[in-house]
Amino acid sequence: MARAPTTFDSFNAIAEPRRRAIIESLIGKEMTVNQVVETMGWNQPMVSKHLGVLKQVGLVSERKQGRYRVYKVNAAQLKPIQEWVIQFEQYWMNSLDHLENYLNEIQSIEVKDE
């Protein structure tokens, strides 16, 4: 059996970094495909394809306006991911990992300051 399609759910769709980048730049705005193309600096078919995947899982929705298609993010589709991850938060808070990260941060700040 192959891996689940990227069009299957949000978990699979956002596994691809370019799709996360699209979501990041499209959040809170509405954008035409070409505006995404310009923002990202990728070729148009690539943008259309990734938008297509995001659309299939409902992470973006599209509205036709003349010859343009205006896309926007459906943030609600990210909620299940948030809910899945958040149940483990207590296990990374107050942990040795946390302490470790904290110490690393302190250290890197000190290094930066020198």
Separation of alpha carbons 16 and 12, rounded Å: 8
Inter-residue contact 27 to 74 (CB < 8 Å): no
Rule CB under 8 A: which of 36-75 touch a copy of itself? 73-75
CB-neighbour burial class of residue 62 (10 A; exposed 0-12, middle 13-18, buried 19+): middle
| Rounded least distance, CB 70 to DNA, Å | 7
The mark string for 72-111 relative to a copy of itself (x by CB under 8 A, - otherwise) is -xxxx-xx-xx-xxx-xx-xx--x-xx--x----------
Residue 5 binding target from a copy of itself, DNA, none, CB below 5 to 8 Å by type: DNA
Write out the DSSP string of 32-61.
EHHHHHHHHT--HHHHHHHHHHHHHTTSEE
Of 11, 29, 52, 63, the one binding DNA by CB under 7 A:
52
Single-letter amino acid code for the residue at 2: A
| Closest approach of a copy of itself to the CB of residue 81, in Å | 5
Binding site for DNA (CB under 7 A): 1-8, 12, 15-16, 18, 32-34, 37, 42-53, 62, 64, 66-69
